[in-house]
Chains A and B, each alone.
Chain A
């Protein structure tokens, strides 16, 4: 009889302990909030192939990005910025404000000479808000000793009202050099080795788009 009681008590204790373990694992997950960031989106092989067929690559787009902000995000402003070594500062060529939400996808594509840009932003579960612009100031001509290269965002923390560099097109000597650090934007001291940079910058805001 004692053995039976002991076995039952042990079984009950085990069941409660197991249930307790389960709870302790789930609680932090339920309580934690998603990390606020913007980063490259992992695409299925089929979707990546469709982008490839469409000719959308690192050199003419930001790539497909996904963003996660807070529930106050209402819009994102894309700024086309340029840096010239002779001026030593960033100046804004154009900016475009589109509606955004707490989370979604972003894709910015542009023509090779940068005279056309297409921006699209989705809010999770709804179609994209998109804008295309033509007649943008083209990239400056490069000399025979220079090439045009690109650098894309991989991941960055998303803070409202803070500029985040998504893509940079820059001229460099034909023999190559180091890529500009997107995370350092807009600190000009980090870009003094570059003759020219064209940057696409995103700024998430709680102000609604018009």
Chain B
């Protein structure tokens, strides 16, 4: 009887062990296979957790929230082939958004990273995207308007997990200008794109927007 029990327990443990392994890999969400298995509805984009060393590096390079989206990671399914990154600007005078740079269409993988950085006072924007196979594409537009030195500047960043839907625009980062000394009633957030209540308090808002697509880049 004891021998039988031992055999049953041994078999049960052997069956359970691989199952434990697979549950670990899906909860970490890091492997390409797990992303593929999750299928539609599990696509998302979020700010990547950085190590202390990476955070120090960003700080020493002067890459704070005002000038960058930070390092974002995305996870999509097979239907997604590319991402359009647009630089949009809202004018408090007209109450409308306008695309101020040619959109960057880049090839995506099942997982990858995105980083958008302004330099030269906002005049230059650089968009970098990886397709999950350590293949990075980068585009630069050096011809934007500089952020005004006469205005108060505030910024916002995508932080939590944001579900991705095909052809839906997601704001990743915002820089808002307001009249000096005139504190806005509402703090700007990426959720204010495209028609948040906070917009009315700012003279200008620049947003980095991404749209995942099934079109090939």
Q: Which residues of A contact B (CB under 8 A)?
A: 43-44, 46-47, 50-56, 64, 105, 107, 109, 111, 115-116, 118, 120, 122, 127-128, 130, 132, 134
- Additional pairs, 4, CB under 8 Å, beyond known A122-B56, A127-B59: A52-B136, A54-B68, A55-B128, A128-B59
User: CA of A134 to CA of B120 in the docked complex: distance in angstroms?
Assistant: 8
B53 touches A118 (CB 8 A): no
A54 touches B63 (CB 8 A): yes
User: CA of A111 to CA of B51 in the docked complex: distance in angstroms?
Assistant: 27
- Cβ contact of B54, chosen from A47, A120, A134, cutoff 8 A: A47
A109 touches B53 (CB 8 A): no
Determine the residue in chain B with the shortest Cβ distance to A122: B60
B60 touches A107 (CB 8 A): yes
Q: Which residue, of A55, A107, A128, A130, has the highest number of chain B Cβ atoms within 10 A?
A: A55
- Pairs A–B under 8 Å by Cβ, sample size 23: A43-B53, A44-B53, A47-B53, A50-B54, A50-B58, A51-B57, A51-B61, A52-B136, A53-B113, A54-B58, A54-B63, A54-B115, A55-B126, A109-B62, A111-B124, A116-B120, A120-B62, A122-B56, A122-B60, A128-B60, A130-B60, A134-B120, A134-B121
User: CA of A14 to CA of B188 in the docked complex: distance in angstroms?
Assistant: 73
- Cβ contact of B120, chosen from A107, A111, A122, cutoff 8 A: A111
For residue B148, CB closer than 8 A to chain A, the reply is no
For residue B117, CB closer than 8 A to chain A, the reply is yes
* Tally of B interface residues using CB under 8 Å: 27
A122 — which chain B residues lie within 8 A by C-beta? 56, 60
Interface of B is mostly: mixed
B136 touches A53 (CB 8 A): yes
User: CA of A55 to CA of B38 in the docked complex: distance in angstroms?
Assistant: 32
Measured CB to CB, the closest approach of chain A to B11, in angstroms, equals 41
- Cβ contact of A53, chosen from B53, B56, B59, B71, cutoff 8 A: B71
A56 — which chain B residues lie within 8 A by C-beta? 61
Measured CB to CB, the closest approach of chain A to B74, in angstroms, equals 13
For residue B138, CB closer than 8 A to chain A, the reply is yes
User: CA of A161 to CA of B195 in the docked complex: distance in angstroms?
Assistant: 57
A44 — which chain B residues lie within 8 A by C-beta? 51, 53
- Cβ contact of B138, chosen from A43, A55, A116, A130, cutoff 8 A: A55
B60 — which chain A residues lie within 8 A by C-beta? 64, 105, 107, 120, 122, 128, 130
B115 — which chain A residues lie within 8 A by C-beta? 53-54
Determine the residue in chain A with the shortest Cβ distance to B50: A50
- Cβ contact of A116, chosen from B113, B119, B130, B140, cutoff 8 A: B119
Measured CB to CB, the closest approach of chain A to B66, in angstroms, equals 12
User: CA of A122 to CA of B119 in the docked complex: distance in angstroms?
Assistant: 22
A50 touches B119 (CB 8 A): no
Q: Nearest 6 CB-CB pairs, A to B?
A: A53-B115, A120-B60, A128-B60, A50-B54, A53-B128, A118-B62
User: CA of A115 to CA of B68 in the docked complex: distance in angstroms?
Assistant: 20
Binary per-residue interface labels of chain B (110-122) against chain A in the complex, 1 for a CB within 8 Å, 0 otherwise: 0001010101110
With known contacts A44-B53, A50-B50, A54-B68, A111–B61 Cβ distance under 8 A: no
B121 touches A50 (CB 8 A): no
Measured CB to CB, the closest approach of chain A to B101, in angstroms, equals 16
Measured CB to CB, the closest approach of chain B to A28, in angstroms, equals 31
